[in-house]
Amino acid sequence: MLIPRSSSCCARALRLSTHHHAIAMAVPSLLSSFSHLFPRGHGFKPFPQFLSSSCSASPFSSLSSVPSPMPNRRSKTPVAAALLEIGGVKIAKDDVVRESDPTNNVPDNIFSKIGLQLHRRDNHPVGILKNAIFDYFDTNYASKFVKFDDLCPIVSVQQNFDEVLVPADHVSRSYNDTYYVNADTVLRCHTSAHQAELLREGHSHFLVTGDVYRRDSIDSTHYPVFHQMEGVRVFSPDEWKDSGTDATSYAAMDLKKCLEGLARHLFGAVEMRWVDTYFPFTNPSFELEIYFQENWMEVLGCGVTEQDILTRNGRKDSVAWAFGLGLERLAMVLFDIPDIRLFWSTDQRFTSQFSEGKLGVKFKPFSKFPPCYKDISFWISDSFTENNLCEVVRGVAGDLVEEWNVREAVQGKLYVTLR
Residues that bind ligand FA5 (CB under 6 A): 59-61, 190, 192, 214, 216, 222-223, 226, 228, 230, 279, 281-282, 285, 298-303, 322-324, 326, 328-329, 340
- 211 contact, one of ligand FA5, Mg ion, none, CB 5-8 Å limit per kind: none
Distance between CA atoms of residues 219 and 371, nearest Å: 25
Query: Contact at 8 Å (CB) between 83 and 91?
Result: yes
Question: What character string, x for contact with Mg ion (CB under 5 A) and - otherwise, covers 191-220?
Answer: ------------------------------
- 299 contact, one of ligand FA5, Mg ion, none, CB 5-8 Å limit per kind: ligand FA5
Distance between CA atoms of residues 203 and 394, nearest Å: 64
Q: Which is nearer to Mg ion, 61 or 109 (CB)?
A: 61
Q: Which is nearer to ligand FA5, 230 or 254 (CB)?
A: 230
Q: Which is nearer to ligand FA5, 48 or 127 (CB)?
A: 127
Task: Select the residue interacting with Mg ion from 49, 54, 61, 123 (CB under 5 A).
Answer: 61
Cβ at position 232, least distance to ligand FA5 in Å:
8
Cβ at position 162, least distance to Mg ion in Å:
20
Q: Which is nearer to ligand FA5, 8 or 221 (CB)?
A: 221
The phi and psi torsions of 382 (rounded to 5 degrees) equal -65, -25
User: From the CB of residue 79, how many other CB atoms can be counted at a distance below 10 Å?
Assistant: 12
Neighbouring-strand partners of residue 303: 285, 322
Cβ at position 41, least distance to Mg ion in Å:
30
Under DSSP, the state recorded for 173 is G
Cβ at position 277, least distance to Mg ion in Å:
7
Neighbouring-strand partners of residue 379: 413
Question: What character string, x for contact with Mg ion (CB under 5 A) and - otherwise, covers 15-54?
Answer: ----------------------------------------
Q: Which is nearer to ligand FA5, 183 or 208 (CB)?
A: 208
Under DSSP, the state recorded for 294 is T
Q: Which is nearer to Mg ion, 94 or 289 (CB)?
A: 289
Number of alpha carbons in the 13 Å side-chain half-sphere of residue 44: 16
Distance between CA atoms of residues 191 and 197, nearest Å: 12
Number of residues that bind Mg ion (CB under 5 A): 3
Q: Which is nearer to ligand FA5, 97 or 331 (CB)?
A: 331
- 173 contact, one of Mg ion, ligand FA5, none, CB 5-8 Å limit per kind: none
Which contiguous run of DSSP H or E holds residue 153?
Answer: none
- 228 contact, one of ligand FA5, Mg ion, none, CB 5-8 Å limit per kind: ligand FA5
Cβ at position 221, least distance to ligand FA5 in Å:
6
Q: Which is nearer to ligand FA5, 94 or 169 (CB)?
A: 169
Quick one: which of 216, 274, 277 has its CA closest to 63?
A: 277
Chain position whose Cβ is nearest to ligand FA5? 326
Our finding on whether 59 is near Mg ion (CB under 5 A) is: yes
Q: Which is nearer to ligand FA5, 47 or 343 (CB)?
A: 343
The answer to whether the peptide bond before residue 78 is cis (omega within 30 degrees of 0) is no
Query: Contact at 8 Å (CB) between 255 and 303?
Result: yes
Q: Which of residues 246-305 bind Mg ion (CB under 5 A)?
A: 301
Chain position whose Cβ is nearest to Mg ion? 59
Q: Any idea what the Cα angle at residue 36 is, between residues 42 and 9, rounded to 5°?
A: 60
Quick one: which of 144, 141, 313, 317 has its CA closest to 240?
A: 317
Number of alpha carbons in the 13 Å side-chain half-sphere of residue 73: 9
Distance between CA atoms of residues 292 and 273, nearest Å: 12
Cβ at position 38, least distance to ligand FA5 in Å:
20
Residue 23, helix vs strand vs coil: helix
Cβ at position 298, least distance to ligand FA5 in Å:
4
Number of alpha carbons in the 13 Å side-chain half-sphere of residue 315: 28
Distance between CA atoms of residues 159 and 230, nearest Å: 14
Instruction: Using CB under 5 A, list all residues that contact Mg ion.
Output: 59, 61, 301
